Amino acid sequence: MRKEERVNEVVKLVRHASTQVWKFYEIKEDKILLRRKKCPRCGSFMAEHENRFSCGKCGYTEFKTSIKGP
């Protein structure tokens, strides 16, 4: 493709699915509570996995501790 042809191309923008942020909050007794944990480094919501919490934006990870009895 020549440079002149690239100038005339129409750039298509990819539209991402909208994030349903309302699912991250809960209302109890006139107070708004977070359902998910927030990242201490960047402030975005963290994903909850089986053994850890992880931030997809900055890569911060917190491992869940499990107390095993004798």
Query: Does residue 31 have a known ligand-binding role?
Result: no
User: Is residue 35 within 8 Å of 28, Cβ to Cβ?
Assistant: no
Instruction: Give the E-state strand segments of 1-70 in sequence order.
Output: 25-28, 31-34, 47-48, 52-54, 61-63
User: What pLDDT band is residue 40 in, cutting at 50, 70 and 90?
Assistant: very high
Residue 69 falls inside a structural domain: yes
Q: Please give the residue that has the higher pLDDT: either 16 or 47.
A: 47
The domain total for the chain is 1
Residue 5 falls inside a structural domain: no
Query: Does residue 58 have a known ligand-binding role?
Result: yes
Average pLDDT over residues 21-40: 89
User: Is residue 23 within 8 Å of 35, Cβ to Cβ?
Assistant: yes
Residue 52 falls inside a structural domain: yes
Percent of the chain with pLDDT over 70: 71
Residue 8 falls inside a structural domain: no
User: What pLDDT band is residue 52 in, cutting at 50, 70 and 90?
Assistant: very high
Residue 9 has pLDDT above 90, yes or no: no
Residue 49 falls inside a structural domain: yes
Question: According to the model, what pLDDT value does residue 51 have?
Answer: 92
**Structural domain boundaries, residue 62:** 37-70
